[in-house]
Chain A
């Protein structure tokens, strides 16, 4: 029989994970609306792969199967992988990424709660390094033909027919490779993928993530520190540089609604296991991710920088935590000398 306390708040890892999944639904709905049902197929593929890998690793490690399979953590990883990979990527790309995330990034490091790196971002980084072409083929807005997407995913039809570069990619490619001097306004104005603020359709997906993220805040699953610091820092850096030279640097609104910004702000940067935990540490961590994201987006060779930015900051998380421990009760003045 246990010791005090004898009463517990009705909270569980499962309920935390399930609410994260629910919070992803608005974004997924917008995704389906603008880009077709392929994303649902990818989510299903990733989920099955994640659960299978999880079950295998749990069995190998001699852990209770049902307890951990139903905790929802593998599903969260799977969904985040599916949502950050192109929805018309070949099936094996998603499955391979998911297997690497669960087997290597999660279980080889000790399983739930022990992984120093965000598993979904490990999957993204590994796959984009290994298969940069496949990871850059994104569906064009309005191409909701499910049969065509099915064929693309299962390799019976070439990707090019239905794919197109994302706004971030288009902008970077144009700015870096155009012989004549291109400007942000020129590229964005002429590109059919560009919508009102971000990418056509993508801005609505981002709005969906934003709505889900705000609900997570209201549910107290995540705290305000990380999303706020991430979005604010990204805005600030993008703002300063677009003020300096608006022909070479896109403005804050574009960065906010392009690529994986909103997904990252509320669902990826906020991963408690691989991130920082102190209030000040969270601000530093998220601002660091934002700065690295902007740098990789602007000067790097990859279409989006969030994955690398998160992984780089994951390395620093323990150190940031060490130096940002909040003062304990009664020691508010002299915390520093004890550390």
Chain B
């Protein structure tokens, strides 16, 4: 079934030590249900789902506890049955150490499913499929956790040429896709066929790095079985050369089809859509079994006695998972993901989430601190290694000098942060950190610009409104004055027709009235204490004034004169 397929190359790439063998010796084990599940509401790209449960509420396995909010958002579910004991801020599996809203569930041990069943997507309207997938919480399980319903995009079939299934799994240490393909190949293919039908794709290309012969064999056998049973011949398995980051979606699409999808463009514009094999498996479970995404395969590897893959309930603390593998005493960090792109966890209590393909235990021995950073000597190794064909050292100079405009001109945002440049750098410069810094600075500035634009618009609107109100007020006054004028004119025409024109009379009358008002005001504000005094009072005031003058004289500073 591995038909002769013309392969393409992407530039760059590196070959780090793969370290995959140790965690593939044992089959997938089911991780035990922990004593407490902490399920973050925000587990995918996009909007934070709204909590749908309250503390004290009993939930069933597969029950929706977070509802998708906004156009890009994906639901989250209770991983087992139990009682919600809190909906509160908890530490997130992210390097920042920030907290976010989580639903904390105390499992009751009964593991009782909510009623569920298959979903007939062929008989459903596109909107129903859209909502169903959104509410089943399926997101990209390769690590990007982009909501899958948006990529499957029901109702907007473009009749794609190719569905690419990503089984490359190029990051060192991670083997969750490898073992999934070895053990559950048939299910993955079922999921792939569902996705193909939703997308209306012509062929399914499954790319697997050639360092996974067992997975390739298992998938081939499953594809053969599908072919003989259902006459399904659209599935093609392709063994791709092992080269990090061949598993990057754009890199894999390039290798399999020769198409380069530019930054900011969708692969569907080029007739291709790409999903991880784990996502295909989750789609099958959601559509054919009606089970939302409540667990995933997680590789536990690194500084542990027995690395292994587990099927883990989402929300399981990483610490519980690591304990199953016997962490070695010199372990000093937990990384979510692989050594090239993984995130360092703030501590080992953070929960397994949909993005957690690997829990990598580190130590100083395994991941030694980098040697001291040296200046860039422009050797160009980074440019040779960059799979996005960037000039990483130029980006480094611009990021370092905070010339962010230039950095964008040199396509900073095409950087996929794969780490190849930093991996090969002989000066040990943490290049990716510089790019992350530059990107976040640019985002912050854009946000600041947006908010200052909004502030300016608000201000301008206020000025406009005040001006309008002033004009309205003036118009009212003018109307009133006109009315009064008419009245006065009407009164005067009879009395003083011969002596003056009505306008002059009116002016005189107005002036006289104004003078009268001023006189009246002056009378009102006359000091009350110094008028109408008796002669005794006047004398007393004069005496007081004299004393004050004396005191003022005494208080004057003395001027000493030299003799």
A, B co-complexed = yes
Q: Which residues of A contact B (CB under 8 A)?
A: 1-9, 11-13, 15-16, 64, 67-68, 71, 73, 111-114, 223, 272-273, 277-278, 321, 325-332, 338-339
- How far, in Å, is A64 (CB) from chain B's closest CB? 7
Q: Taking the complex as formed, is B231 at the interface, i.e. its CB lies under 8 A from any CB of chain A?
A: no
A7 touches B367 (CB 8 A): yes
Partner of B383, one of A3, A277, A330: A277
- How far, in Å, is B27 (CB) from chain A's closest CB? 27
B377 touches A6 (CB 8 A): no
Sampled A-B contacts (23; CB under 8 Å): A2-B433, A3-B432, A3-B433, A4-B343, A5-B341, A6-B340, A7-B16, A8-B423, A9-B423, A9-B424, A12-B426, A68-B374, A113-B375, A113-B376, A223-B380, A272-B377, A272-B378, A277-B391, A278-B391, A321-B394, A329-B263, A331-B262, A331-B411
Partner of A329, one of B262, B342, B375, B378: B262
Partner of A327, one of B339, B371, B380, B389: B389
- How far, in Å, is A120 (CB) from chain B's closest CB? 15
A7 touches B260 (CB 8 A): no
**Which of chain A's residues has its CB closest to B15's CB?**
A9
- How far, in Å, is A296 (CB) from chain B's closest CB? 26
Query: Which residues of chain B come closer than 8 Å to A114, judged between CB atoms?
Result: 375
Question: Nearest 6 pairs between A and B by C-beta?
Answer: A330-B262, A5-B419, A113-B375, A6-B367, A11-B426, A330-B260
Q: Taking the complex as formed, is B428 at the interface, i.e. its CB lies under 8 A from any CB of chain A?
A: yes
B423 touches A325 (CB 8 A): no
Q: Taking the complex as formed, is B30 at the interface, i.e. its CB lies under 8 A from any CB of chain A?
A: no
Q: Which residues of B contact A (CB under 8 A)?
A: 10-11, 14, 16-17, 95, 172, 250, 254, 260-263, 265, 333, 335, 337, 339-344, 362, 367, 369-372, 374-381, 383, 387-391, 393-394, 409-411, 414, 419, 422-428, 430, 432-433, 436
Alpha-carbon distance between A331 and B426 when the two chains are bound, in angstroms? 28
- How far, in Å, is A302 (CB) from chain B's closest CB? 28
B374 touches A71 (CB 8 A): yes
Alpha-carbon distance between A4 and B244 when the two chains are bound, in angstroms? 15
**Which of chain A's residues has its CB closest to B376's CB?**
A113
**Which of chain A's residues has its CB closest to B366's CB?**
A6
Query: Which residues of chain A come closer than 8 Å to B436, judged between CB atoms?
Result: 3
B344 touches A13 (CB 8 A): no
- How far, in Å, is A99 (CB) from chain B's closest CB? 21
- How far, in Å, is B344 (CB) from chain A's closest CB? 7
- How far, in Å, is B373 (CB) from chain A's closest CB? 10
Alpha-carbon distance between A272 and B426 when the two chains are bound, in angstroms? 13
- How far, in Å, is B396 (CB) from chain A's closest CB? 11
Alpha-carbon distance between A332 and B370 when the two chains are bound, in angstroms? 35
B430 touches A7 (CB 8 A): no
Query: With A7-B17, A327-B389 given, is the CB distance from A277 to B378 under 8 Å?
Result: yes
Query: With A111-B375, A329-B10 given, is the CB distance from A4 to B340 under 8 Å?
Result: yes
- How far, in Å, is B206 (CB) from chain A's closest CB? 23
Query: With A113-B375, A273-B377 given, is the CB distance from A325 to B391 under 8 Å?
Result: yes
Which of B376, B377, B383, B409: most chain A Cβ within 10 A?
Answer: B377
Query: With A1-B344, A64-B372 given, is the CB distance from A328 to B377 under 8 Å?
Result: no
B250 touches A330 (CB 8 A): yes
Alpha-carbon distance between A64 and B387 when the two chains are bound, in angstroms? 34
A12 touches B371 (CB 8 A): yes
Query: Which residues of chain A come closer than 8 Å to B381, judged between CB atoms?
Result: 11
Alpha-carbon distance between A146 and B389 when the two chains are bound, in angstroms? 53
Alpha-carbon distance between A273 and B377 when the two chains are bound, in angstroms? 5
Query: With A113-B375, A329-B10 given, is the CB distance from A8 to B370 under 8 Å?
Result: yes
Known: A2-B369, A15-B426, A331-B414. 10 other contacts (CB 8 A): A4-B335, A6-B335, A7-B172, A7-B339, A11-B424, A113-B375, A272-B378, A328-B411, A329-B389, A330-B263
Query: Which residues of chain A come closer than 8 Å to B339, judged between CB atoms?
Result: 4-7
- How far, in Å, is A255 (CB) from chain B's closest CB? 28
Alpha-carbon distance between A4 and B343 when the two chains are bound, in angstroms? 7
Query: Which residues of chain B come closer than 8 Å to A321, judged between CB atoms?
Result: 394
Query: Which residues of chain B come closer than 8 Å to A338, judged between CB atoms?
Result: 409
A3 touches B344 (CB 8 A): yes
Which of B367, B424, B436: most chain A Cβ within 10 A?
Answer: B367
**Which of chain A's residues has its CB closest to B333's CB?**
A1
B390 touches A328 (CB 8 A): yes
- How far, in Å, is B79 (CB) from chain A's closest CB? 28
Query: Which residues of chain B come closer than 8 Å to A13, judged between CB atoms?
Result: 374, 377, 426-427
A67 touches B372 (CB 8 A): yes
Query: Which residues of chain A come closer than 8 Å to B265, judged between CB atoms?
Result: 330
- How far, in Å, is B93 (CB) from chain A's closest CB? 14
Query: Which residues of chain A come closer than 8 Å to B337, judged between CB atoms?
Result: 4
Query: With A3-B430, A330-B265 given, is the CB distance from A112 to B367 under 8 Å?
Result: no
Alpha-carbon distance between A1 and B430 when the two chains are bound, in angstroms? 12
A112 touches B377 (CB 8 A): yes
Alpha-carbon distance between A9 and B394 when the two chains are bound, in angstroms? 21
Query: Which residues of chain B come closer than 8 Å to A68, judged between CB atoms?
Result: 374
A8 touches B344 (CB 8 A): no
B380 touches A16 (CB 8 A): no
Query: Which residues of chain A come closer than 8 Å to B95, judged between CB atoms?
Result: 3
B422 touches A329 (CB 8 A): no
Alpha-carbon distance between A332 and B8 when the two chains are bound, in angstroms? 15
**Which of chain B's residues has its CB closest to A330's CB?**
B262
**Which of chain A's residues has its CB closest to B393's CB?**
A277
Query: Which residues of chain B come closer than 8 Å to A328, judged between CB atoms?
Result: 263, 388-390, 411, 414
Query: With A11-B381, A277-B378, A330-B261 given, is the CB distance from A5 to B391 under 8 Å?
Result: no
- How far, in Å, is A112 (CB) from chain B's closest CB? 5
Alpha-carbon distance between A11 and B411 when the two chains are bound, in angstroms? 27
- How far, in Å, is A284 (CB) from chain B's closest CB? 15
Query: Which residues of chain A come closer than 8 Å to B362, judged between CB atoms?
Result: 6
Alpha-carbon distance between A220 and B145 when the two chains are bound, in angstroms? 38
Alpha-carbon distance between A73 and B381 when the two chains are bound, in angstroms? 17
Alpha-carbon distance between A321 and B380 when the two chains are bound, in angstroms? 12
Alpha-carbon distance between A5 and B370 when the two chains are bound, in angstroms? 10
Alpha-carbon distance between A286 and B563 when the two chains are bound, in angstroms? 92
Query: Which residues of chain A come closer than 8 Å to B335, judged between CB atoms?
Result: 4, 6
Alpha-carbon distance between A113 and B428 when the two chains are bound, in angstroms? 14
- How far, in Å, is A330 (CB) from chain B's closest CB? 3
**Which of chain A's residues has its CB closest to B431's CB?**
A5
Query: Which residues of chain B come closer than 8 Å to A1, judged between CB atoms?
Result: 333, 344, 369
Query: With A7-B16, A9-B424, A11-B425 given, is the CB distance from A2 to B430 under 8 Å?
Result: yes
B261 touches A4 (CB 8 A): no
Which of B339, B380, B394: most chain A Cβ within 10 A?
Answer: B380
Alpha-carbon distance between A278 and B383 when the two chains are bound, in angstroms? 9
B422 touches A5 (CB 8 A): yes
Query: With A13-B377, A328-B388 given, is the CB distance from A2 to B370 under 8 Å?
Result: yes
- How far, in Å, is A39 (CB) from chain B's closest CB? 27
Query: Which residues of chain B come closer than 8 Å to A11, judged between CB atoms?
Result: 381, 424-426
**Which of chain A's residues has its CB closest to B337's CB?**
A4
B432 touches A5 (CB 8 A): yes
Alpha-carbon distance between A164 and B398 when the two chains are bound, in angstroms? 50
A8 touches B378 (CB 8 A): no
Alpha-carbon distance between A11 and B335 when the two chains are bound, in angstroms? 24
**Which of chain B's residues has its CB closest to A275's CB?**
B378
Alpha-carbon distance between A8 and B429 when the two chains are bound, in angstroms? 10
Alpha-carbon distance between A272 and B372 when the two chains are bound, in angstroms? 21
Alpha-carbon distance between A71 and B370 when the two chains are bound, in angstroms? 16
Alpha-carbon distance between A17 and B341 when the two chains are bound, in angstroms? 30
Alpha-carbon distance between A1 and B347 when the two chains are bound, in angstroms? 13
Alpha-carbon distance between A230 and B122 when the two chains are bound, in angstroms? 66
A329 touches B387 (CB 8 A): yes
B414 touches A8 (CB 8 A): no
Query: Which residues of chain A come closer than 8 Å to B333, judged between CB atoms?
Result: 1
Query: Which residues of chain B come closer than 8 Å to A9, judged between CB atoms?
Result: 14, 16, 423-424
Alpha-carbon distance between A331 and B262 when the two chains are bound, in angstroms? 6
Alpha-carbon distance between A68 and B428 when the two chains are bound, in angstroms? 14
- How far, in Å, is A1 (CB) from chain B's closest CB? 6
